[in-house]
Structure 1
Amino acid sequence: MLGARGRRTPSGTPIGIDPSRSAVRLTQVTKEYGRGPSAVVALDDVSAGIAAGSFTAVMGPSGSGKSTFLHCAAGLDRPTSGTVRLGGEDLGELDEKELTRFRRTRIGFVFQSFNLLSSLTVEQNITLPLRLAGAGTDHDSVRGVTAAVGLTGLLGRRPAELSGGQQQRVAIARALITRPEVIFADEPTGALDPDTADDILALLRQAVTDLHQTVVMVTHDPAAARRTDRVVFLAGGRVARRLDAPSAEQVKSVMSELRRAH
């Protein structure tokens, strides 16, 4: 199983994290859907930085802008205004072809529904980003990643032959295989039972602690958020609160406050 919660400095900053270096930075990002009087503002002048080598949760009441935040930060959607920089690259300066290439090689994704291709084996699903990017497959890297996420011996199986937890492990291995600058996880434990969810969260925690990855996770679950280094709370499309070294109880308290206020 992946490593334990990372050690922290006396100030609460996880050891090995440089809070001055952002893996992702949103600056005055606004995202509107539609036009005119019927337009919906999903993000409203949001500025936020995600420290490199950290595990960050994004939370908020329903309709707060969590998914839009993730989609804009990951280059899946373009903001109406403002800038998004990932790994020093201004995503707004990339055309669609360049942005697609950027996502394939420098960003990893983990989704609630796993998003595996049923016709491919576990190994083929894991190495798909490499093939799409036209890169060669390093079998030592494949073996290393699959061992790290507990899939040794399952590489020849297809998704239908795996449990939900095993399928999510495949998704995490696929996200790790290119050694991306950031892994974005959208409700990665939402379809899993509590014990399996805890295992998956431990894997994501290990990706940060042991592999020095940056993970940004949208979640509604305080138990999931307590695994992270920081929680960014959204409400009404704006950043409402930030919480470092969160406990489940603290997260529940903030979420209750935000629901009452909105």
Structure 2
Amino acid sequence: MQTNETQSQSKTQTQSQNGPGGPREDTHLADSGTALDRASAWALAMDGVTRRYGRGGRAVHALRGVDVRLPHGSFTAVMGPSGSGKSTLLQCAAGLDRATSGRVTLGGQDLSGLGERRLTRLRRSRVGFVFQSFNLLPTLTAEQNVLLPLRLAGVRPDRTAAARMLARVGLADRARSRPGELSGGQQQRVAIARALITRPDLVCADEPSGALDPATAEDVMGLLRQAVREWGATVLMVTHDPAAAAWADRALFLQDGLVVDEANGWDAPEIAARMRSMRTTRAATAAAEVAA
């Protein structure tokens, strides 16, 4: 682990000088207006995180004390049955939802003490998002969509950085194309470029290959893998697809709001077998509860 952390710190230092969008002034600000600690040991740390919706007997416990650490420059997949808490974990990690208890630390910044305005500001510059449905604005060109996070963060748009990012995702010649003129795979490439343009501490990917055919999905997953390996990005991905999860450094398995297992370097058949085992266990538990 010490070796991995040393490599991750080296990647982070290199990225601060030459990120995926190229050299530029660091614009990431904490809630106090000062630069966040980019030398933090972890890109993301979640300690004892719970999330409860509702109260009393009808309360739903989406997360039940989750502990997660993501080193800088790592790729982590989160898997589990429907209702296991995957999406809630991703939302709490990104600051889109607040934990009921526990602590979420992003790039050295504790999110629990931030008001909504400061949390929004941090999220715009420190977190990149890749969604299954792409979420590109249809009236904007590919270049304008990529630059949108900078505009929202109050940073002067850098067209050179956008051109560099689009070139890195293989779309150098489509900067002026609108989403309707692009294939699904090309739209997801634009979304990945948009997610990386601010050099975020964390890229949150929610089923990024879910709307793509297998060949295109493989291309997109390879691009996320490249972002981690070559550009020092840190990716947290929720997926139902064992083939997608196999691209990650490790996979976390959630069940009933708890991390019940972890796999490092597993291939798709091994991950699929673990998911089948989880579903079998869950079904047996449900049957036992009904019988009782």
Pairing partner for 2:209 from 159, 181, 189: 189
| Conserved 8 A contact 1:14-1:229 | no
Per the TM alignment, residue 141 of structure 1 is displaced from its structure 2 partner at its CA by 1.3
- Among all aligned residue pairs of Structure 1 and Structure 2, give the percentage whose two residues are the same amino acid: 56
How many angstroms apart in 1 are the aligned matches of 2:140 and 2:107?
Answer: 31
Matched, 1:67 2:58: no
How many angstroms apart in 2 are the aligned matches of 1:69 and 1:148?
Answer: 30
Pairing partner for 2:180 from 157, 160, 168: 160
Unpaired segments ≥5 residues, structure 1: 1-8
Deviations 1:159-213 (A, max 9, x none): 1111111110110010011111110000000000000000000110000000011
SS of match in other structure, 1:85? strand
Pairing partner for 2:132 from 112, 118, 121: 112
Letter in 1 for 2:195: A
| Conserved 8 A contact 1:12-1:245 | no
Letter in 2 for 1:138: D
Letter in 2 for 1:21: A
Per the TM alignment, residue 140 of structure 1 is displaced from its structure 2 partner at its CA by 2.2
How many angstroms apart in 1 are the aligned matches of 2:217 and 2:5?
Answer: 23
- 1:215 is aligned to 235
- 1:4 is aligned to none
**C-alpha spacing 1:27/1:102, structure 2 compared with 1 (3 Å):** same
Matched, 1:227 2:218: no
**C-alpha spacing 1:14/1:207, structure 2 compared with 1 (3 Å):** farther
Pairing partner for 1:102 from 122, 125, 135: 122
- Structure-to-structure mapping, 1:2-151, within 5 angstroms: 16-17=7-8, 21-151=41-171
| Conserved 8 A contact 1:12-1:244 | no
How many angstroms apart in 1 are the aligned matches of 2:101 and 2:188?
Answer: 34
- Structure-to-structure mapping, 1:163-174, within 5 angstroms: 163-174=183-194
Aligned length: 252
- 1:5 is aligned to none
How many angstroms apart in 2 are the aligned matches of 1:246 and 1:144?
Answer: 33
SS of match in other structure, 1:22? coil
SS of match in other structure, 1:153? helix
How many angstroms apart in 2 are the aligned matches of 1:46 and 1:132?
Answer: 31
Letter in 2 for 1:124: Q
Runs of 4+ in 1 over 4 A off after TM superposition: 11-15
Deviates more, 1:152-161 or 1:67-76: 152-161
Letter in 1 for 2:118: E
Letter in 1 for 2:276: S
| Conserved 8 A contact 2:163-2:175 | no
Letter in 2 for 1:72: C
Greater CA radius of gyration, 1 or 2?
2
Q: Please, what TM-score do these two structures have when normalized by structure 1?
A: 0.92
Over the aligned positions, Cα root-mean-square deviation in angstroms equals: 1.8
How many angstroms apart in 1 are the aligned matches of 2:109 and 2:133?
Answer: 29
Deviations 1:135-172 (A, max 9, x none): 11222211111000011111111111111111101100
Q: Please, what TM-score do these two structures have when normalized by structure 2?
A: 0.83
Q: Which has the higher contact order (CA 8 A, sep 6+)?
A: 1
| Conserved 8 A contact 1:84-1:91 | yes
Per the TM alignment, residue 47 of structure 1 is displaced from its structure 2 partner at its CA by 1.0
Deviations 1:89-146 (A, max 9, x none): 0001110000000011111000000011111111111100111111112222111110
Per the TM alignment, residue 14 of structure 1 is displaced from its structure 2 partner at its CA by 9.6
